[in-house]
Structure 1
Amino acid sequence: MSHLLYGGNVVANDVRLHYLRYGGQGHPLVLIPGITSPAITWGFVAEKLAEYFDVYVLDVRGRGLSSSGDHLQYDTETCVNDILAFVAALELTEYHLVGHSMGARFAIRCASQHPQGLKKIVLIDPPVSGPNRRAYPSQLPWYVDSIQQSIEGMDAEEMKKFCPTWTLEQRQLRAEWLHTCYLPAIVKAFNDFHDVDIHQYIPQISVPALLMVAGKGGVIQADDIDEIQKLNPNISLSHVENAGHMIPWDDEQGFYQAFGDFLDQSII
């Protein structure tokens, strides 16, 4: 039986933000997906987390059912302000923030502002690119070509060109929802991976933080881990050795195990 309670919309930071709520019991947990991941694509993870937490999965602006269009801004600061306004709109007085990839970068920036109620953050394989740094390993044309094809219409078999290791169900869901990723929003987020120095905010994180690294992702390397922990020695570390950047897609059980008891629950 599904733990999905409902999908909803709130007005936050002057835009409509859509979210999915799972579970409804336990400590609130806000999940921020990556650059081209509408909330529904993290549903299988939210179902598991909902056994332990009250889970809210956000459609970042320009994705899924949240506001989109050329009249909006899609820079890091604006999206971070969305998250903080979203939490306030839902009146979450205490919450954990879990972000994957782009969402992890947003979580770093959120935490650096010391928002009231934020208890812990989990940073799932955040891009460590930035000014004068090693480029993010994925290439922009991969995103552009797949989104453009999805706008025209694509099926799971056509998605295999872009996600060859994914299961049929995973590719079906991505093929169904990728067209909701507004291309200018994706391009801006990708450019911000390289133009925004997210490292400057790491020393300002005062809440407990867990950095989860994909062993096969190529996004975070040993030198990057050393730098992050020197910037903030209080950041804990876990590895999912057999997973690429999309960790729960590659090793779902390893993903849950990597949380350990960081969130005061062992996810089994």
Structure 2
Amino acid sequence: MPTFTPHDGVALAYRVRGEGPGRPLVCLIGDPGDPSDPSDPSDPREPEELTRLAGQRPRVTLRSRDADGRPLPAAAVDALRVHLGQERIDLIGHLAGGELAVRYAALHPDRVRSLVLVTPGPGPDPAFSPERARRALAALTAPVLFLERGPEDAESDAVARAVAAFLDPAVRTVVVDGVRLAYRVAGPEDGRPVVLVHGRGESSTTWGPVMEDLAVDHRVYAVDLRGHGLSDRPGGYGFDVLRDELGGFLKALGLAGATVVAHSMGAGAACLLAQREPALVGRLVLEEPPAFVPLDPPRPVADRPEGRLAFDWEIVPTTDAQLNAPEPAWRAGLPAIAAPTLVLAGGPASHIPQDQLAGLAEAVPDARLVTIEAGHLIHEARPAAFLAAIREFGTG
């Protein structure tokens, strides 16, 4: 195994897995009590679930304790960074190795390109607290992913998929009201801005073909709303919360006046934002939005599916309750929308009553209704027709 020598002069061993010209991914693993580690405390083998990481990037694995069981100082990680010839590093803190990763990132925030913290599942004595880590990382501007690892994940690709997606160079983050939001951006920097907002249970990745097409001549931003994708899961969901968060996102990135294209739950948030802060939205595309007419019959309380979800389940009961009994002001406020608006309806296959969407379009002063018979997921089922409708409508 290769070694490097920190400032204290004691050589430390590390393992390298994978080849290719890409930047190395540095993985800090725990002590022998970490169930992902081998029995030999001197052998820093890569945790099983991380061996499934796709791509050609080399992965460098270092144990967070020395051969005598003493925690490594943050200086050892920095010595490894220098040894690898890197100005900044992509860092993974795996289970008990997360404590060292947090200490290093807190001390040297300018030397971390991205940080992944694979945390143990809920328990009485976790290796470290994500809440405490967030406080320690207040000065870190690099993207951070908190990934809870359940016992079943060691035998699945779930961790590897999440980490691989997070390390996508198209992903950036911004903090809005204390919540770290991930987003993807593509297209020329001087292109007209278009913001894509996903529906419930989805993420920015749902826009793949749409984003690729629009990015030819637009600057396209696809956000992960709170509780979804790679963004924080802080709780406190609801259409009104998402409305304010979307507004904060536009303000933080200087996107006032952008065209906003939103689906389902995201369309509900965008609709409310265009009512409250008309200057933030230049043009508005609402794909299968909620009409904010009380549901009859109301939705029953949904049962949470078993296993890990790609989003925070708390979103479902909260937004379902609001759909059952929406604030009357949300419907009454439709005439306040000043942006030219396109309402895209999915036709009879959609679960949303199409007459309600027609009524929504009639209530907005400068709105038109276009039906694309594709069901609720128009942009996924018929992306070409979806894009044609947007381009005919215009983006400012």
TM-score of the two chains, using structure 1 as the length reference: 0.76
CA contact (8 A) 2:291 2:360 kept: no
CA contact (8 A) 1:84 1:115 kept: no
Counterpart CA distance in 1 for 2:313 and 2:358 is: 34
Confirm or deny that 1:219 pairs with 2:349. no
Instruction: Please give the root-mean-square deviation of Cα atoms over the aligned residues, in Å.
Output: 2.4
1:124 matched residue in structure 2 = 287
1:188 matched residue in structure 2 = 318
Q: Quote how far apart the aligned CAs of 1:262 are.
A: 1.2
Deviations 1:100-158 (A, max 9, x none): 00111111101001343421100001122543x4458x8764x832xx34x1xxxxxxx
1:154 matched residue in structure 2 = none
Counterpart CA distance in 2 for 1:199 and 1:246 is: 23
Question: Runs of 4 or more off by more than 6 Å in structure 1?
Answer: none
Confirm or deny that 1:19 pairs with 2:183. yes
Q: Quote how far apart the aligned CAs of 1:202 are.
A: 1.2
Q: Which runs of 5+ in 1 are unaligned?
A: 152-178
1:78 matched residue in structure 2 = 241
1:235 matched residue in structure 2 = 367
* Structure 2 SS opposite 1:183: coil
Q: How many residues align?
A: 225
Q: Quote how far apart the aligned CAs of 1:47 are.
A: 1.3
* Structure 2 SS opposite 1:116: helix
Structure 1 residue aligned with 2:227, among 55, 62, 70? 62
* Structure 1 SS opposite 2:236: coil
Deviations 1:220-264 (A, max 9, x none): 32x3244224422421111102x0101122212121222252125
* Structure 2 SS opposite 1:31: strand
CA contact (8 A) 1:102 1:127 kept: yes
- Equivalent residue letter for 1:19: Y
* Structure 2 SS opposite 1:20: strand
1:144 matched residue in structure 2 = 304
Query: Residues 184 and 41 (structure 1 numbering): CA distance in 2 closer, same or farther, change over 3 Å?
Result: same
Counterpart CA distance in 1 for 2:304 and 2:394 is: 36
- Equivalent residue letter for 2:281: L
Counterpart CA distance in 2 for 1:116 and 1:232 is: 16
CA contact (8 A) 1:108 1:201 kept: no
- Equivalent residue letter for 1:144: R
CA contact (8 A) 1:13 1:81 kept: no
CA contact (8 A) 1:5 1:24 kept: no
Counterpart CA distance in 2 for 1:259 and 1:226 is: 18
Q: Which runs of 5+ in 2 are unaligned?
A: 1-167
Counterpart CA distance in 2 for 1:140 and 1:52 is: 44
Counterpart CA distance in 2 for 1:204 and 1:89 is: 24
